[in-house]
Structure 1
Amino acid sequence: MSPSASASPVYQEGSSKGPEKNVPLPRMPNEAKNFTEKGASSFVEYYFGLLNYTIESNDANAVKRLSSEGCQLCNRSIIDEAENAKKSGEWQVGG
């Protein structure tokens, strides 16, 4: 690898000693933007990947953009939990 090429950070699993590091942010597949049965299925897979990312990383920004403010489950169980854990320095191992 040349000196100018940058390697992607390597994902590191979490443990009782520390949280996951370099958790890859899922990318929404183009198919997930189509209003079809296959598009809906693709979006659901992406969204659940995003939920797991949020739980592992305590980064709720991406899931916030896709969740309705009125979704109590999204806010209380995922977004608020991740943000509170981030503030307090807590983590969950695995998604």
Structure 2
Amino acid sequence: MDSNLMLGGNFMRNRKFSILVISAILLLSACSGQPTENSPSATGSPEFTTGSSQAGSSRQTTSPSSFVTGTPDGPARNVPFPPISDQASKFSEDGAEAFTLHYFDLINYVIDTSDTEAIKKLTENDCTVCYKQIINEADKAKKDHKWQVGGKHHPKVVDSYISGKNVAIVTVEYTSDVGTVYSAPHKVHEKIALQTDARIAFDLSFDRGWTVHQIKSAS
């Protein structure tokens, strides 16, 4: 999929399914180079604690035994959907924190499935990062029959506070695993590098539930 993405003030022109490339500062996945063809798949991604385990939000709705992880042969199948927890629906600092971790669960779900229906419902239309770099890229990848293996994100909330009437800011540190994007069985479209020690802030709005208003850099 051809696109021009703003990365830290510079344009990188390539075919990109890494659905979470935000910028050099707002990095939710990063390319290790230009797309390649017939490259070996990435291996050796480290283990981290996932957002779902911290928030308790990912009670699987699909039997774990029926889930098939993505491979160079094809995309993941029967991916468990992460339901939102009761805590993540409350207007409080703890609720905003749980919601943000749930949003990361949905990002990881989109990585596996390219299904953006659920994440769209929790994303405001003016969240440029959310739509341009996550939702629209995933929709295009689904249309082009590309899939991603690896590249999952592992967030940790470092601060959350109610910043005004019906709004909150949640600051997150996260890592992401290495990954590979395929355009056909064993045909590598792009490699995704390991990401460590990234920090971003979620601006949230509340109206009978939280939604993401913006994603910004955080110092």
In the superposition, the TM-score normalised over structure 2's length comes to 0.39
- Of the structure 1 ranges 78-87 and 7-16, higher mean CA displacement relative to structure 2 is found in 7-16
Query: Whole-Å Cα distance in 1 between the matches of residues 137 and 90 of structure 2?
Result: 31
Matches for 1:1-95 after TM superposition, within 5 Å: 8=63, 10-94=66-150, 95=152
**Identical-pair percentage:** 42
Structure 1, unaligned runs of 5 or more: 1-6
Say which structure is richer in helix. Answer: 1
- What's the CA shift for 1:56? 1.0
Matches of 1:46 and 1:17 in 2, distance apart?
29
Give the distance between the partners of 2:148 and 2:133, measured in 1 at CA: 13
Instruction: Tell me the alpha carbon deviations over residues 64-88 of structure 1, each in whole angstroms, 9 at most, x when there is no partner.
Output: 1111111111111111111111101
C-alpha distance after superposition, 1:5-32 (max 9, x if no partner): xx84711111111011111111000111
C-alpha distance in 1, partners of 2:116/2:102? 15
The SS at the match of 2:120 is helix
Could you say which residue in structure 1 is the equivalent of 2:202? none
Alignment size in residue pairs: 89
**TM-score, normalised with respect to structure 1:** 0.86
SS class of match (2:71):
coil
CA distance in 1, matches of 2:80, 2:114: 12
Displacement after TM superposition at 1:50 (Å):
0.6
Deviation at 1:48, TM superposition (A): 0.5
Letter paired with 1:25: F
Query: How far apart are 1:42 and its partner, in Å?
Result: 0.8
SS at match of 1:19: coil
Q: Residues of 1 paired with 2:71 and 2:108: CA distance?
A: 16
- Which secondary structure state, in structure 2, belongs to the residue aligned with residue 92 of structure 1? strand
**TM superposition outliers: structure 1 runs of 4+ over 3 Å:** none
RMSD of Structure 2 on Structure 1 (CA) = 1.5
C-alpha deviation, 1:89, in angstroms: 0.5
SS of aligned partner of 1:68: coil
**Can you list the C-alpha shifts for 1:39-70, whole angstroms capped at 9, x where unaligned?**
11111111100111011100000001111111
